[in-house]
Amino acid sequence: MTPLAQMAVEVLTTADARAKTALSRRYAAAWQAARAEGALPEIGTADPPDRPARPARPELKHPRDVPRRKPGTPEGRIALLHAVAHIELNAVDLHWDVIARFAHVPMPPGFFDDWVRAADEESKHWGLMAECLEAAGSHYGALAAHAGMWRAAEETAGDLLARLAVVPMVLEARGLDVTPGMIEIFRKAGADDAVAALETIYAEEVSHVAYGSKWFHFLCGRHDLDPKDVFHDLVRRYFHGPLKPPFNEEKRAEAGLPPDFYWPLSETG
Ligand SMILES: [Fe+2]
Ligand SMILES: [Fe+2]
């Protein structure tokens, strides 16, 4: 079997979204099949690209230049699905990037199991959003999307602890805060397929945040660091601006994020 870090680089260097997510799911299945048989496939080391390959479309624009549409309209709902699809594709790369970029950090096999599983789920999430877009007469790539989504990855490329703090424990946790409102928008519009897809995403994202918190705490323990202090320090250093309430305190708790981690970083905290 190809070493896991090498698989990760292959996903990262695949540009087409459908091909990228299909390869991601295939490699995740191969890893999981080997693990189910009790094997521990080689992790290896890799030299991941600074930025993952992406399709020619969507056109990437500064967030300020991506047109905003009212969520109460069909166009607004398509724009919302498109934005989520873009986030999911970025998330596929973010998960494989952790595997490739930090392959030299000795971690227990369960760390790789978690990241492979999350990468597989992100790939599924992109597919769900792509299907919803197509059912609504659009497709991924039809609209402009936010540039700069890779910024957090670039800034934390040298520090696994910082990557865990900023990506799963801040960015993915934010998804837990905003997804229920999104589900409501589609429920009101009677868009059952989008409601079901977003509910799947919402349920699975809890575990992605939990993986972040679990391995963040693990690494803090390894280095005899206080997790809360280190979290505050790293988020202030690598995440620009305050965290925005309201927070989904219940789901954050389920994911292993206690209030004293995030409230002190909010604009009102
Ligand atoms: Fe996702
Ligand atoms: Fe996720």
Listed in sequence order, the residues at least 6 apart from 169 whose beta carbon sits closer than 8 Å to its beta carbon are 209, 212, 213, 216, 231, 235, 257, 261
Strand partners, 146: 61
CA nearest neighbour of 144 among 227, 244, 206, 63: 63
Separation of CA 207 and ligand 2 centre (Å)? 8
Separation of CA 125 and ligand 1 centre (Å)? 5
Burial grade of 106 (CB within 10 A; 0-12, 13-18, 19 or more): exposed
Separation of CA 202 and ligand 2 centre (Å)? 9
Which residue carries 């979290």 as its tokens? 231
pLDDT of residue 204: 98
Ion ligand 1 contact residues with beta carbon within 5 A: 88, 91, 122, 125
Separation of CA 210 and ligand 1 centre (Å)? 13
pLDDT tens digits in sequence order for the chain, 269 residues long = 899 999 999 999 999 999 999 999 999 999 999 999 999 999 999 999 999 999 999 999 998 888 788 878 999 999 999 999 999 999 999 999 999 999 999 999 999 999 999 999 999 999 999 999 999 999 999 999 998 899 999 999 999 999 999 999 999 999 999 999 999 999 999 999 999 999 999 999 999 999 999 999 999 999 999 999 999 999 999 998 999 999 999 999 999 999 999 999 997 65
Global pTM value: 0.97
CA nearest neighbour of 83 among 148, 134, 145: 145
SS3 1: coil
Burial grade of 36 (CB within 10 A; 0-12, 13-18, 19 or more): exposed
pLDDT of residue 66: 84
CA 46 to CA 6: how far, in whole Å? 6
Ligand nearest to the CA of 202: 1
pLDDT of residue 269: 55
pLDDT of residue 108: 97
Phi/psi of residue 102, each to 5°?
-110, 25
How many C-alpha atoms does 220 have within 13 Å on its Cβ side? 19
Separation of CA 121 and ligand 2 centre (Å)? 7
Separation of CA 201 and ligand 1 centre (Å)? 6
- Angle (CA) 204-210-212 rounded to 5° is 115
CA 131 to CA 171: how far, in whole Å? 24
